[in-house]
């Protein structure tokens, strides 16, 4: 698994960067529904015309016995088609548990971003909730970034405010 | 009735068949036969699909006859035949389950390859379905007249993928009408173009009309079917307008039967799921 993931990264390695950082803020909306499950969330970087993506994070039910939570990974259907179906989840450094409603900050550093080829990327975040809906947001990202580069998007139902802040 | 009409016009059809394969329009049979999987794109280690199988007017509603599952074959991603579980036949539909214990693409196929005979004895027309050459030789009385034999090759398929799609089960057998995927059948998305090749006995089936019908017929006024014709190399493509389940069907008729002087009718049917983008 690590192998496949490294391969995905190495495909875009051109210029080694250092101390790069991407800070992502994700709001999981609070819902007043009879049956609530925390959403599955996937984040990745993609580049137009490049089938390879850079996986950033996948939040899913990793604690269920016998990896039963993997059953709903395909509901993040774009992520599943682009990269998820190629992976054997859980993947170290990629998967983590689902998050509660509220705003969450995650930072991706060199380990994920070093070697990102210069160009125009899309930061993509996809959320799918059991017995709920699914939503996908895109934020354009330039790499290497300009100082204090920031992008924002706002979801309508499964995601709230999402922002991406970059440091070269 | 349909069959009889076919036989009466047989000399004409046979003559045409010498030049080329004759495409048969889909409604040669009054009802549509189909299989409907509970899902085609799956993740996780311990997953199952359940499949309904029936023939009906409207897709995909079971309202006429259950499908016979005698000739059902299920193939796991490595190409080996595996067992369908919980097989049952009800009044309107048959059903079976398949456990997807391996990663890759599974195929479920109902293939019929047999002879159909009709003949007249003492002024009465008799029919024999699902026959073998031996059965025909043995059971049709010597005094029978108007003996007509037709070879019927029908193939109905669905594809289901757990994890990453694979190609092993997509290999054609080289017999009858078959679909080979240029676009993987479990990698279909609305708004995207999918490409397939139709083969007859392993060779490109050219000029064959493929009927594509979206499911959910009951809740709309129009059939919304699309007919596409295969090119010289058997290719056809289609851009899915909406996500959902689609029924695709094609048929040919020629004189390339393995039984002497028989006419051959070959058909291919698949149910394909098109995902939302």
Residue range B71-85, pLDDT digits in tens: 999 999 999 999 999
> Nearest 5°: CA angle at B163, between A24 and B171?
140
| Phi-psi sector, B65: left (phi>0), alpha (psi -120 to 50), beta | beta
Residues B78/B169, Cβ–Cβ less than 8 Å: no
Mean pLDDT score across all residues of chain B: 90
Q: Could you say which residues from 87 to 106 on chain A have a Cβ atom under 8 Å away from some Cβ of chain B?
A: 89
Q: Are B153 and B242 in contact (CB under 8 A)?
A: no
Is-contact A123 A139, C-beta < 8 A?
yes
Find which of A70, A133, A135 to mutate to test the B interface (most B CBs within 10 Å of its CB).
A70
Cβ neighbours around A33 below 10 Å, total: 10
What pLDDT, in 10s, does the model give residues A111-148? 888 888 999 999 999 999 999 999 999 999 999 888 88
CA angle A65, A70, A73 (to 5 degrees): 155
- Taking residues A68-81, what's their average pLDDT? 96
CA-based nearest distance B164→chain A, Å: 5
Q: Is the pLDDT of residue B227 over 80?
A: yes
Interval B42-72: pLDDT, tens: 999 889 999 999 999 999 999 999 999 999 9
From CA B26, how far away is CA B23, in angstroms rounded?
9
Q: Which of B44, B187, B277 sits opposite A70 (nearest CB)?
A: B44
Contact call for A71 and B47, based on CB within 8 A: yes
| Consecutive H or E run containing B250 | strand B244-254
Cβ distance B243 to B275 under 8 Å? yes
Q: Is A85 on the interface with B (CB under 8 A)?
A: yes
So where are chain B's domains? 18-114+149-274
Q: Quote the pTM value.
A: 0.86
Contacts of A73 in chain B (CB under 8 A): 43-44
Confidence of residue A18 (pLDDT cuts 50, 70, 90): low
| CA distance to partner chain A, nearest, from residue B163 (Å) | 5
- Ramachandran area for residue A121 (φ above 0: left; ψ -120 to 50: alpha; else beta): beta
Residues recorded for chain B:
277
Whole-number Cα distances in Å, B257 to A132, B12, B61, B154, B262: 54, 17, 34, 13, 6
Contact B42 A81 (CB under 8 A): no
**Chain centroid offset of residue A126 CA:** 7
What percent of chain B shows pLDDT beyond 90? 83
DSSP state of B192: S
- Judged by DSSP in three states, B171 sits in coil
CA distances from A138 to A18, A79, A103, A123, A167 (A): 25, 12, 18, 6, 19
- For B188-205, what is each residue's pLDDT tens digit? 999 999 999 999 999 999
Contact of A138 with chain B, judged by CB distance below 8 Å, is answered with no
What pLDDT was estimated at residue B29? 52
Q: Does A122 touch chain B (CB under 8 A)?
A: no
Q: Which residues of A touch B275 (CB under 8 A)?
A: 77, 81
Q: Could you give the CA distance from residue B151 to residue B116 in angstroms, rounded to a whole number?
A: 6
CATH for B18-114+149-274 is 2.60.40.10
Which pLDDT value is given to residue B30?
Answer: 65
Please judge whether B44 and A71 are an interchain contact, meaning their C-beta atoms are less than 8 angstroms apart: yes
Q: Sort strands A21-28 and A102-108 into parallel, antiparallel or unpaired.
A: antiparallel
Q: Bigger pLDDT: A109 or B208?
A: B208
Token pair in block for residue B96? 């079976």
Q: Would you call A39 an interface residue with chain B, using a CB distance cutoff of 8 Å?
A: no
Report yes or no: B147 and B119 within 8 Å, Cβ to Cβ: yes
C-alpha span between B115 and B257 (Å, rounded): 9
- Interchain contact A62–B (C-beta under 8 A): no
- The closest CB to that of B163, out of A68, A78, A85, belongs to A85
Cis peptide before B216 (omega within 30 of 0): no
Q: Give the least confident one: A62-66, A104-108, B160-164.
A: A62-66
Question: Residue B141: exposed, middle, or buried by beta-carbon count in 10 A (0-12, 13-18, 19+)?
Answer: exposed
Rounded-to-integer distance, Cα B103 and Cα B43, Å: 9
Q: Taking 50 as the threshold, does the pLDDT of residue B28 lie above it?
A: no
CA nearest to B105 within chain A = A85
The kind and range of the H/E element at B47 are strand B47-56
Q: Does the distance separating the beta carbons of B47 and A67 come in below 8 Å?
A: no
The ipTM assigned to this model is 0.83
């Amino acid at each position: 698994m690590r192998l496949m993931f490294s391969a995905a990264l190495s495909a875009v390695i051109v210029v080694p960067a250092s101390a790069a950082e991407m800070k992502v803020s994700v709001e999981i909306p609070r819902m007043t529904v009879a049956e609530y499950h925390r959403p599955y969330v996937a984040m990745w970087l993609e580049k137009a015309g490049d089938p390879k993506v850079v996986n950033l994070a996948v939040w899913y039910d990793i604690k269920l016995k016998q990896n039963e939570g993997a059953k709903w990974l395909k509901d993040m259907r774009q992520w599943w088609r682009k990269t998820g179906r190629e992976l054997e989840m859980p993947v170290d450094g990629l998967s983590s548990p689902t998050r509660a409603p509220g705003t969450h900050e995650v930072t991706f550093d060199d380990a994920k971003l070093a070697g990102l080829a210069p160009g125009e990327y899309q930061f993509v975040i996809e959320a799918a909730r059991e017995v709920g809906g699914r939503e996908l947001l895109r934020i354009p990202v330039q790499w290497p970034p300009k100082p204090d580069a920031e992008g924002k998007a706002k979801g309508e139902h499964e995601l709230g405010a999402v922002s991406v802040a970059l440091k070269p | 009735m349909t069959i009889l009409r076919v036989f009466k016009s047989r000399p004409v059809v046979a003559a045409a068949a010498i030049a080329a394969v004759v495409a048969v329009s889909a409604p040669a049979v009054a009802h549509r036969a189909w299989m409907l999987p509970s899902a085609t794109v799956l993740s996780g280690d311990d997953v199952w699909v359940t499949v309904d199988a029936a023939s009906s007017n409207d897709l995909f509603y079971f309202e006429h006859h259950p499908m016979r599952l005698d000739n059902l074959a299920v193939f796991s991603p490595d190409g080996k035949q595996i067992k369908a579980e919980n097989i049952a036949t009800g009044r309107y539909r048959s059903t079976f389950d398949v456990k997807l214990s391996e990663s890759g693409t599974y195929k479920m196929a109902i293939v019929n390859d047999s002879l159909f005979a009709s003949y007249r004895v003492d002024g009465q027309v008799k029919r024999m379905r699902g026959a073998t050459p031996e059965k025909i030789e043995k059971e049709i009385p010597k005094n029978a007249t108007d003996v007509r034999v037709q070879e019927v090759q029908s193939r109905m398929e669905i594809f289901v993928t757990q994890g990453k799609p694979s190609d092993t089960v997509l290999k054609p057998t080289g017999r009858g009408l078959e679909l080979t995927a240029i676009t993987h059948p479990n990698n279909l998305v609305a708004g995207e173009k999918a490409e397939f090749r139709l083969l007859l006995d392993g060779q490109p089936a050219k000029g064959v009309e493929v009927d594509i019908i979206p499911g959910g017929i009951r809740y709309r006024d129009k059939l919304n079917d699309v007919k596409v014709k295969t090119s010289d190399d058997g290719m056809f493509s289609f851009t899915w307008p909406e996500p959902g389940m689609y029924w695709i069907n094609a048929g040919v008729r020629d004189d390339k039967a393995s039984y002497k002087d028989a006419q051959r009718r070959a058909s291919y049917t698949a149910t394909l799921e098109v995902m939302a983008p």
